[in-house]
Copies of this chain bind each other. A is one copy, B any other.
Amino acid sequence: MAYDFDIYIKQHINLSDEDVQLMRSMSLEKTAHRKEILLKPGDVCRYKMFIISGMVRLYRTREDGSEHIMHFATENEWMTEPESLNHGTPTTYYIEALEDSHLLLWTKRDFTQLCVAIPQLKTYSEDIIAKNLAMTRERVFNTMSATAEERYDDFIRDYPDVFNRIPLHMVASYLGVSLKTLTRVRQAQVKR
């Protein structure tokens, strides 16, 4: 139910019932089925997305068809492709629903308007970007300096819920290793 959004948003930024109603009134409600592509290369990303239920992933492919996952988002998390959304330029990313999902969408224009009406929302959304940057820097550091096994353990520690809901080949794709390497890491751990 979309009520979950009301509860979530009130907990995270102190909003009046009227503010929540305002946000809801400008949102688009959407359901996406498992494997539905919500954004693909060449598209312009039009929405900021809040996940009420389900799960989506952000990924890119190389010319050889290999997929590389940048981000997962589950219940009560946000997803967008800011580069394309902000500048109105074609994206290079895919966004795909990994489960049947229930979403709320806002266009850039509506969200900007909301930020004017609700200053806390502006602060909150800036915070999300800054956190994303810190996370992504952390990930660069890990990818460069940690072994496949360390990164695998970190992933399970940091995203246990995601881990339990996705196939292993997507874990591999997120970690930046082949499925083979992941299998080997897991096998080595079983033997201990």
What are 22 of the A-B contact pairs (CB < 8 Å)?
A60-B141, A60-B145, A62-B145, A82-B130, A82-B133, A82-B134, A83-B134, A126-B126, A126-B129, A129-B129, A129-B130, A129-B133, A133-B133, A136-B136, A136-B137, A136-B140, A139-B140, A140-B140, A140-B143, A143-B144, A144-B176, A145-B176
What distance in Å separates the Cβ of A75 from its nearest Cβ neighbour in chain B? 23
Report how far A133 CA is from B126 CA in the complex, Å.
12
Given A133-B136, A136-B137, A137-B136, do A145 and B68 touch, yes or no (CB 8 Å)? Answer: yes
A66 at the interface (CB under 8 A from B): yes
Measured CB to CB, the nearest residue on chain B to A143 is B143
A86 at the interface (CB under 8 A from B): yes
Report how far A125 CA is from B68 CA in the complex, Å.
30
A132 at the interface (CB under 8 A from B): yes
A residues in contact (CB < 8 Å) with B: 60, 62, 66, 68, 70, 82-83, 86, 126, 129-130, 132-134, 136-137, 139-141, 143-145, 176
Mostly, the A contact residues are: helix
Residues of B contacting A130 in the complex (Cβ-Cβ under 8 angstroms): 82-83, 86, 129
Report how far A191 CA is from B60 CA in the complex, Å.
33
Most buried by B among A60, A129, A133: A133
Given contact pairs A132-B133, A133-B136, enumerate 7 new A-B contacts (beta carbons under 8 Å).
A68-B145, A126-B129, A129-B130, A136-B137, A143-B143, A143-B144, A143-B176
Residues of B contacting A176 in the complex (Cβ-Cβ under 8 angstroms): 143-145
Measured CB to CB, the nearest residue on chain B to A69 is B144
